[in-house]
Structure 1
Amino acid sequence: MPDWFVLVGVLVIVVGFLLKLDVIAVVIAAALVTMLAAGESFLAFLDLLGKAFVDNRSVSLFLLTLPMIALSERYGLKEQAVTLISKLHALTPGRFLTIYTVIRQLTGIFGIRISGMVQFVRPIVHPMSSAAAKSRGADSESEAELVKAESALSENIGNFFGQNGFVAASGVLLIVATLKEAGYDVTPELIAAASLPMIVIAAIVAAVHFWNIDRRLTKHAAVAQDSEVAGDE
């Protein structure tokens, strides 16, 4: 059997994706076909699959959160978040996202992993910011997409800058190792302390940006309301 025949696994992936089959099943099938084409046994495939599962069990534990999030959404997590925001009349989308960005930075500084796009932004942050926008008349499709993007932005800013304030963060340890190899005498504490000014600056820039988003949404809502009044007349 020619050596290039092991590439049949790539063909399995392409066909599986074109047919829109289950991604995990397609990848596992491709791996199995590749190993069989390479002359390995089915037991060797199971051994490799089990070893990969054990070596990456932290990733597997993360996958367990997905059905938990789905169940939370199914039984009203989004609705409760929207109800909470509707009671806070002074809270605009920009103010809410600014508060979340600061909270996200603080949790990053203390090494507390409470959030993420899947676990926190999609089921909680985005519905709450969207409810705040709709309460002010910003309910068009383009405005909804804008709020969705800004919700993701607040997570990215808070996580990216906040995590460098934690001495045991992987990014901080990577910076320390790189600088030491270059001949600089640094410690994780020094890197975390040097990151604090950037964390504050990032929070200020984010607050200004979200304030501009509030102005933009308010302007669009006012224009839409004027257009409706003109149409009624």
Structure 2
Amino acid sequence: MDLVSLSSLMLPLIGIPVVVLGFALRFNPLLVVTVAGLVTGLATGMDFGSLLETFGEKFLNSRQLASALLILPVIGLLERAGLRERAQAWVAGIRSATTGRILMLYFVVREISAAMGLLSLGGQAQTVRPLLSPMAEAAASNQHGDLPAPIRERIAAHAAACDNVALFFGEDIFIAFGAVLLMSAFLKENGIQGVEPLSIGMWGIPTALCALVIHLFRLSRLDAAIARDIHAWRAREQGNKAVDVADVTDVTDVVDKAGVSS
């Protein structure tokens, strides 16, 4: 391979040192990536008009990703404006609401919606943290009063698990899901015919139903477990207070006796 052909093969890689240098100098990441793309395009022989057209096309194709990124600051602003507090206040007014019932209802809705392809209907950032976890916590507080930190963390963990498990098993039923299409294509490439996305989705239904039954059973026992843990925590706290009072009484008796003997 001569020097000219080698240089022509290396030119498309010129954007890599641009990115490394830009990040090392702590320039704006968006500016660094844009300049690297422009330099790479010009180095490979693209005219400036075609390069701008390519940039615009790629931006339009990825606009859905950009809109998804906008959800996070919106959720942050809603939380700052009191979204969690409003969710807690609303659930506190429903006497029949319990932590287990709220999580069970969310699990069913989340798995069914994921099976229908509505994967973005819920989520950790946009639903679990600002809405589901505060609502489940408020239901427990409405029944038991102030909750200790371990109980709050346990409720938050169950809320996060509901979303993860329901999404994981529900999305496998949706025939247009990326993993289902990947499995179908992989099997066809390896000579296994007759395995269509519809059949893969149908075989995902029994697993999703098993996950639904098992997780609903676990959640049905959550309220009793929370009540038991809170009772044990309060008994422990009362025992610690009794020990503290006994220690203070012993010290007072010693001081009084010392004063009498003197």
TM-score by structure 2 length? 0.69
Please show how residues 145-160 of structure 1 align to structure 2 within 5 Å: 145-160=153-168
The 5 Å alignment of 1:77-226 reads: 77-113=83-119, 114-135=121-142, 136-137=144-145, 139-181=147-189, 182-226=191-235
| Residues in 1 aligned to 2:171 and 2:202: alpha-carbon distance in whole angstroms | 12
TM-score w.r.t. length of structure 1: 0.76
What stretches of structure 2 of length at least 5 have no aligned partner? 1-12, 243-262
CA distance in 1, matches of 2:155, 2:136: 7
Report the more deviating stretch, 108-117 or 195-204. 108-117
Q: Provide the residue aligned with 2:6 in structure 1.
A: none
Contact 1:6 1:37 in 2 (8 A): no
**In 1, distance between residues paired with 2:81 and 2:131?**
13
Q: How many residues align?
A: 222
Q: Which moved more, 1:149-158 or 1:3-12?
A: 3-12
Report the Cα offset of residue 202 of structure 1.
0.6
Change beyond 3 A, Cα 1:141–1:128:
same
Following the alignment from structure 1 to structure 2, what is the Cα–Cα distance between the partners of residues 138 and 162? Answer: 35
The structural deviation recorded for 1:106 is 0.8
**Unmatched segments (≥5 aa) in structure 1:** 17-24
**Alignment RMSD:** 3.3
Structure having greater relative contact order (Cα 8 Å, sep ≥ 6): 1
Letter in 2 for 1:120: T
Deviations 1:12-63 (A, max 9, x none): 54785xxxxxxxx74325436767998979x89x947655433311101212
Question: What one-letter code is carried by the residue in structure 2 that aligns with 1:151?
Answer: A
**AA aligned opposite 1:222:** H
Give the percent of matched residue pairs that are identical in Structure 1 and Structure 2: 29
Instruction: Report if aligned partners of 1:78, 1:123 keep a CA contact under 8 Å in 2.
Output: yes
Q: What amino acid is the match of 1:31?
A: V
Cα distance between partner residues in 2 of 1:131 and 1:193: 38
Structure-2 change in CA distance of 1:220 and 1:168 (3 Å): same
Moved more, 152-161 or 93-102: 93-102
Q: Which has the larger radius of gyration?
A: 2
